Amino acid sequence: MENSDLERFQEDIHEIENGLYLGSQIAAENLELLQSLGIKNIVQVLEYQSDITFPGITYHFVQINDLESENMIPLLPEALKFISSSLLSGQKVLVHCAAGRSRSATIVIAYIMAKHRLNFEQAHNLVQSRRLCIYPNFGFRRQLKQVGSDLLSTYLIIN
């Protein structure tokens, strides 16, 4: 793959903070892009698990539809533990859904809320400053506002 091709695919993935990436399924299925960024762990946030996986990459699957009626909260503990343990061990992690806008953005926002003890709006603004296209559905937004950073922070692995 040429550099111009890699640059085009990098539009599908953004680094939110050191080692934590948010992106689309297109990015997650591009092995050369993943290797160029050093990503070793992937959180798939999809209705169905992707058939495209790569050896040497560890996956955590979060099964959820992008519907306001879906309950994201019970799925957060394991996802946040996976993200925090990956980063703690020095490994980069990509969180993705189909477009990298709603489901995966919600999980990344939850992680940012937990890690930095931010409210939803603060965490959303931070993530959106790195990936402009995020737009968590209103049901997911409501859930994160209700649960708050104190509870979310209990899901992190910190040492």
**Alpha carbon distance 122, 71 (integer Å):** 22
Per-domain residue ranges of the chain? 3-153
Which residues in the chain belong to E strands, given as ranges? 13-17, 20-23, 39-46, 58-63, 92-96
**Residue 133 annotated in active site:** no
Whole-structure pTM value = 0.91
Task: Work out the pLDDT band at 2, boundaries 50, 70, 90.
Answer: low
**Alpha carbon distance 77, 23 (integer Å):** 20
**Alpha carbon distance 131, 142 (integer Å):** 21
Give the model confidence (pLDDT) of 80-128 as tens digits.
Answer: 999 999 999 999 999 999 999 999 999 999 999 999 999 999 999 999 9
pLDDT over 50 at 151, yes or no = yes
The partner residues of 59 in beta bridges, in order of sequence, read: 42
Catalytic residue among 37, 76, 97, 110: 97
CATH of domain 3-153: 3.90.190.10
Highest mean pLDDT out of 88-92, 144-148, 152-156: 88-92
Question: What is the model's pLDDT at position 51?
Answer: 87
Tell me which of 149 and 49 has the higher pLDDT: 49
Tally: H helices and E strands in the chain: 7, 5
Give the model confidence (pLDDT) of 27-66 as tens digits.
Answer: 999 999 999 999 999 999 999 988 899 999 999 999 999 9
Site of tokens 């692995």: 157
Dihedral of alpha carbons 91, 92, 96, 101, sign: positive
Question: What is the model's pLDDT at position 157?
Answer: 72
